[in-house]
Amino acid sequence: MRLERGVVTYDALLVLSFGGPEGDADVMPFLENVTRGRGIPRERLLEVAEHYHHFGGVSPINGQVRALIDALERELRAHGITLPVYWGNRNWHPMLEDTVRRMKDDGVRRALALVTSAFGSYSGCRQYREDIERARASVGEGAPEIEKLRLYFDHPGFADAQIARVRDALGTIDGERARLLFTAHSIPMSMARTSPYEAQLRAMCELVARGVAHDTWELCWQSRSGPPQVPWLEPDVLDVLARLASEDRAQPVVVIPIGFTSDHMEVVWDLDHEAKARAGELGLRLVRAGTVGTHPAFVAAMRELVQEKLAAAPKRALTTLGNDHDPCAASCCPAPQRPSR
Ligand SMILES: CC1=C(CCC(=O)O)c2cc3nc(cc4[nH]c(cc5[nH]c(cc1n2)c(C)c5CCC(=O)O)c(CCC(=O)O)c4C)C(CCC(=O)O)=C3C
Ligand SMILES: [Fe+2]
C-alpha cells in the first residue's frame, strides 16, 4: 500500500535501533562497532562485555524491538495503514545497510524512519540521521529516500505510558512516601552542551511526576563510559542512592528509567543488578518502574507520528522543546569533539 500526502508518497516504515548481541561470540565485535573512534578505554569495554556474558551474550534489546514492531504493525493495520515495516540497527544485525538494500530490492522508494530513542542528543538523534545517509550512500543508486520521524519525547502518549508505569511501581510500595528518581543515559558534557537532551528530560520528569501527584523528584544519570578525565553528565545514580539513604533510609525510592524506551542492557544490568545491589547494601527500599516498552498508549503515539506525516493526525506535543527537530536544525545536536586517544 502507498500512503499519500499531496505529492509525497510513503511505501514503508523503517524501525531504526541501536542493536545488541545475540550470543557470546557477538559481544566483542558488537562493542567494537559501538565504540569505534570513540575513545572508550579497553578496560571499560571488557567490563561491559561481562554484563552481556552474564546473560549468555544476549542483549534484551532485539527482543524488545521485535515486540515493538509486532505491536506497531497491529496498531497500524487497525487504523487502515498497511505499510510494510522494516528493521535495521546501527551496531548489530540486522544492520541498517543490509535493510536499506533489501528495501531497495523490494521497490521501496520513500520510507519513514522511527528511531527507538526518544530524546534529542547526538547519539539518539543526529547520529541516526548520519547512519541513514551512510547506509543510503553505500547502497547507492536507487536507495530509498528515508525521512526520520520527529522526536517524540513530549508526545502525550509517551508521557501517559510513562505515568502508567510509575503508577504501577508506586502501587507496590508505600507510594505516597516514595521519592521519584528519574534516570537517563549519561552523555559527555561536550555532547550535552550542544543537545536539547537535559532540558527535554527535565521537562518530562516534571510532567510525569505531576501525573502521579508527586511534587518533588530528581533526575540523575547512569551508564557513563569514556575515560575518567572526560566530564560526563552527573550525578550518577549510585551516588544519589547513597545520599538518599543518608537522608532517610525509611523512604522508598522509585527509579524511573525515563531516558530508555525499553528494558535495554543498561536497565537490566545497571539498574536491576547494580543499583538494586547498592540499595540493598544501603538498606534502602528500591523499586524500578517499567520502561514504556509496548504500552498501548506508547504504541498509539508511534502510530500517530506516522499519521502526522500524512497530515492525518495533528502534531501533539506537551512542550515547545522539540519544535525545531522536525527535521533537526543544522546546528542541533552536532557531533561532539572527541578526545583524540
Ligand atoms: C544517550 C544514549 C542512549 C539513550 C538513547 C537510546 O535509548 O538510544 C544510549 C542507548 C544505548 N546504549 C547502548 C549500549 C552502549 N552504549 C555505549 C556507549 C555510549 N552510549 C552513549 C549514549 C547513549 N546510549 C554514549 C555517548 C556512549 C559513548 C560512546 C559514544 O560516544 O557513542 C556502549 C559502549 C560501552 C559502554 O557502555 O561504555 C554500549 C555497549 C544500548 C544497547 C543496550 C543493549 O544492548 O541492550 C542502548 C539502547
Ligand atoms: Fe537533533
CATH code for the domain of 190: 3.40.50.1400
Q: Does 129 share its domain with 222?
A: no
Q: Does 67 share its domain with 147?
A: yes
Q: Is the peptide bond before 327 cis (omega within 30 degrees of 0)?
A: yes
Burial class (CB in 10 A: 0-12, 13-18, 19+), 122: buried
Write down the pLDDT at residue 340: 45
Q: How far is the CA of 179 from the centre of ligand 1 (A)?
A: 27
Domain assignment present for residue 282? The answer is yes
Write down the pLDDT at residue 338: 65
Q: Does 147 share its domain with 161?
A: no
Write down the pLDDT at residue 297: 98
**Rounded to an integer, what is the distance from CA 25 to the centroid of its chain?**
25
Q: Does 170 share its domain with 88?
A: no
Domain assignment present for residue 321? The answer is no
Domain assignment present for residue 303? The answer is yes
Q: Does 208 share its domain with 106?
A: no
pLDDT digits (tens, 9 = 90+) for 235-269: 999 999 999 999 999 999 999 999 999 999 999 99
- Strand locations in 199-306, DSSP E? 217-222, 253-256, 286-288
Write down the pLDDT at residue 75: 98
Residue 284 in contact with residue 243, Cβ under 8 Å?
Answer: no
**Rounded to an integer, what is the distance from CA 277 to the centroid of its chain?**
24
Q: Does 8 share its domain with 145?
A: yes
Cα separations in angstroms, 34 against 30, 64, 113, 240, 337: 6, 19, 21, 28, 17
The DSSP result for 6-69, as a single string, is: TTEEE-EEEEEE----BSGGGHHHHHHHHHTTS---HHHHHHHHHHHHTTTTB-THHHHHHHHH
As for how many domains the chain has, the answer is 2
Domain assignment present for residue 333? The answer is no
Q: Does 227 share its domain with 253?
A: yes
Write down the pLDDT at residue 325: 53
**Residues with Cβ within 8 Å of residue 108, at least 6 apart in sequence:** 11, 12, 84, 86, 144
Cα separations in angstroms, 57 against 47, 103, 129: 13, 29, 28
Domain assignment present for residue 83? The answer is yes
| pLDDT tens series, the chain, 341 aa | 556 655 578 999 999 999 999 999 999 999 999 999 888 888 899 999 999 999 999 999 999 999 999 999 999 999 999 999 999 999 999 999 999 999 999 999 999 999 999 999 999 999 999 999 999 999 999 999 999 999 999 999 999 999 999 999 999 998 889 999 999 999 999 999 999 999 999 999 999 999 999 999 999 999 998 888 999 999 999 999 999 999 999 999 999 999 999 999 999 999 999 999 999 999 999 999 999 999 999 999 999 999 999 888 889 999 999 865 566 777 788 887 765 43
Domain assignment present for residue 330? The answer is no
Q: Does 89 share its domain with 104?
A: yes
Q: Does 13 share its domain with 135?
A: yes
Stretch (H or E) spanning 129: helix 127-139
Residue 39 in contact with residue 227, Cβ under 8 Å?
Answer: yes
Q: Which residues line ligand 1 (CB under 6 A)?
A: 18, 20, 31, 34-35, 38, 40, 44, 48, 59-61, 116-117, 121, 123-124, 185, 187, 223, 225, 259-260, 264-266
Write down the pLDDT at residue 41: 86
Residue 247 cell numbers, joined = 537522608
Q: How far is the CA of 217 from the centre of ligand 1 (A)?
A: 25
**Residues with Cβ within 8 Å of residue 206, at least 6 apart in sequence:** 217
Residue 295 annotated as binding site: no
Q: Does 120 share its domain with 163?
A: no
Residue 214 annotated as binding site: no
Residue 72 in contact with residue 299, Cβ under 8 Å?
Answer: yes
Closest CA to ligand 1's atom 37: 225
pLDDT digits (tens, 9 = 90+) for 133-166: 999 999 999 999 999 999 999 999 999 999 999 9
Rounded Cα gap, residues 20 and 266, in angstroms = 11
Residue 235 cell numbers, joined = 550525578
Rounded Cα gap, residues 318 and 321, in angstroms = 9
Domain assignment present for residue 315? The answer is no
Q: Does 97 share its domain with 171?
A: no
How many other C-beta atoms can be found within 10 angstroms of the C-beta atom of residue 338?
14
Q: How far is the CA of 61 from the centre of ligand 1 (A)?
A: 12
ipTM of the complex: 0.91
Q: Does 41 share its domain with 110?
A: yes
Domain assignment present for residue 96? The answer is yes
Write down the pLDDT at residue 327: 66
Full residue range of the structural domain in which residue 253 is found: 156-288
